[in-house]
Structure 1
Amino acid sequence: MKDRIIEICVVDDEPIVCNRLKPMLEKSGCRVEIFTDSKASLDRLSEKKFDILITDLKMKPPDGLELLHFTRNTYPETRVIIITGFATIETARDALKGGAVDFIAKPFHMNQLRDLIRKISAEIQKGQE
């Protein structure tokens, strides 16, 4: 069976984060949509199921936890990764308890996220067999 293309939604109110992640993820063979407006991302998430959601935590409403809860309730199989510059034990616990597969503090190394995406993509592909 041929591997299918992994679809990723990236939400971060800092355009530089979206603009750095998109080419890296596309180079890994993923299809990527980016949003700097969390409300626009929620509208898109209402229309389309993604394999992976990568979202910042602290944004104008809806924030990352709201996007996490919406996505997990709407598409339970979608993997959610929270990235944040405001990492605390409490926010990490809330994100993981809410169903995030990982919680990454900014600044992070691109290789750290790339490796996590590869791992999740392999799990998704294996589940398709």
Structure 2
Amino acid sequence: MESKIKVLLVDDEEIVGKRLKIALEKDGYAIEVYQSGQEAIDRLKKELFDIVVADIRMDEVNGLDVLQAVQENSPRSKTIMITGYATVELAREAQAKGAFGFIAKPFRPKELRKLLEKATRELKKSSEAE
């Protein structure tokens, strides 16, 4: 990768964030991890990220709220939704609201890597078209 792709990851399960941070940094991504949807939204208002990975089901501020904040603050960013409660309805709702992709827990890091690589390619295509 020429310049590091900036990824914001928000998941209320601390272990998920820690494991994914280690795995994705090895792949060359610059990653920030938050356990709170509100903290992630606050960060999104101050910093632009290329990709946002958000758990749909969190206390108080959920992944759909994070998705909305991404759309408002950084519409160029690609958002990937993750959840332990995968339902077709949630996937459709997230994608209807602009999510780039959807992945269900439990998943392997390589599954997320594939989505991140796809999102990165889309970002490069859109920046080349500008």
TM-score normalised per structure 1: 0.93
RMSD of Structure 2 on Structure 1 (CA):
1.3
Matches within 5 A, 1:1-129: 3-129=2-128
Q: Is the 8 A contact 1:3 1:125 kept in 2?
A: no
SS at the partner of 1:66?
A: helix
Q: How far does the alpha carbon of each residue in 1:25-44 deviate from its partner, in whole angstroms, 9 at most, with x for none?
A: 11111100000122111111
**1:23 CA displacement:** 1.1
Deviations 1:59-116 (A, max 9, x none): 1221000100111122110000000001111111100000001111100121111111
Cα shift at 1:122 = 2.6
CA apart distance, 1:4: 1.9
Structure 1 gap segments, 5+ residues each: none
Give the deviation of 1:128 after TM superposition: 3.7
Distance 1:32 1:126 in 2: 22
Structure 2 segments unaligned to the other structure (5+ residues)? none
CA contact (8 A) 1:45 1:71 kept: yes
* Alignment check: 8 A CA contact 2:56 2:63 kept: yes
How far apart are the structure 2 equivalents of 1:127 and 1:90? 29
Ranges of 4+ aligned residues in structure 1 off by more than 4 Å = none
Q: In percent, how many aligned pairs have the same letter?
A: 41
State whether residues 56 and 83 of structure 2, in contact with CA within 8 Å, keep that contact through their aligned partners in structure 1.
yes
